Structure 1
Amino acid sequence: MPTDDEGGHVLPRIESPDGENGLADDLDAPEGDAAAPEVRPMAGEGPPHDADWFTALVHEHERALYRYLVRRTGQEAADLTADVLTVAWRRRDDVPDGAELPWLYRTAGFVVANHRRKGRPIPVEHLPDEVEDDDPALHAVRDEQVREALAALSPRDRQIVLLNAWEGLTGQALAEVLGVSRGGADAALSRARARLAAAWVASD
């Protein structure tokens, strides 16, 4: 069933493969483990990134990370979750305090892209700068009309729409995954929603 966003756009309801559906309606960070705090500790003020830190990271975010991956890769999600967590451990000094889950999502996007392109695990020291265009998430969308509307978007717009629809990311959390400012993320989400609405109308 279509939904309306704040801009008055008629948007398709994008069903997640795991049954959690819908677009987030507001531009504030959502509650729950998908949200990154607006104010994060300054460098050096967070806990040491040691084995205890990593154990806590896995305990808090492994389930959300697995959901992200299973929506996009299906049966390969468990192995890829382990790959992403391996990257997190080996690059633990790069993981920002207070924005761990968005960092994991961003890294997962690169890992998925490389896994599909190369058919083998990604060397953790050499993550690419951009995710490749072929988005495996399209194959998980069951509704043909919704899939057509998403396929009409650019890879970047599609990534933004699905991060919002499936992971519930908005605001600062979305900005962390995209590697842009909060204002840039808000604007990008608004544009992506408008383009999705246009593609949805065109496919009707």
Structure 2
Amino acid sequence: MGQEHEDRRWFTGVVEEHSRALVRYFARRGPVQDAEDLAADVLVTAWRRRDDVPREAVLPWLYTTAGYTLANHRRKHADLPVAELPERPSPARVGTDPEISAIFDAEVRGALGAVAERDRHILLLNAWEGLDGAELAQVLGISRSGADAALSRARKRLREAWTDRLHL
């Protein structure tokens, strides 16, 4: 009973600390109405694989799992291109989170839509999820210096895309 109690306590802490971040992650990248369900899928996976989750890096592990969960979801459903995201999130499911509403800015959507998917993934992990350094490296499965370089290159490409859009 002791280990099961510890596992439940750990999982309750994970849910309380990270569930909102997971919902935001999915709301920014996919159909807003599916964000809560997809976040729940990641948490179920975390519970099922609780022995594999590194206690010192829970959030990066959750974001990595979220990436796989979103990819699976997209394979099952028609993908919505960045340029075709709806104008506003569904208030019934996500609420009025100002961070989520930022995705609906046409200028940002256009610039993000112009960069490669990997660059977009890196930029969003950094800007929206607040990951950099070791956490970003862990999610990407590369070294810390590799993650720093990838972020730098992605930022450069976004600046170029932004500048190109301004001159249209």
Q: TM-score, normalised on structure 1?
A: 0.64
Q: 2:66 aligns with which of 95, 104, 108?
A: 108
Q: 1:198 to 1:77 in 2, by over 3 A?
A: same
1:5-154 → structure 2 map (5 Å cutoff)? 50-73=7-30, 74-119=32-77, 139=85, 141-154=103-116
Q: 1:149 to 1:137 in 2, by over 3 A?
A: closer
The code of the aligned residue for 1:88 comes to A
Aligned position for 2:165? 203
Alignment partner of 2:104: what SS?
coil
The code of the aligned residue for 1:199 comes to A
Higher share of residues assigned helix: 2
Distance 1:98 1:107 in 2: 16
**Gapped regions of structure 2 (runs ≥ 5):** 87-102
Could you give the per-residue CA deviations for residues 26-45 of structure 1, whole angstroms, max 9, x where no partner exists? xxxxxxxxxxxxxxxxxxxx
How many residue pairs match? The answer is 143
Runs of 4 or more above 3 Å deviation: 134-138
Could you give the per-residue CA deviations for residues 105-134 of structure 1, whole angstroms, max 9, x where no partner exists? 111111111112114xxxxxxxxxxxxxx6
Query: What's the Cα RMSD here?
Result: 2.1
8 Å CA contact 1:49–1:92 kept in 2: the answer is: no
Aligned position for 1:173? 135
8 Å CA contact 2:82–2:112 kept in 1: the answer is: no
Q: TM-score, normalised on structure 2?
A: 0.76
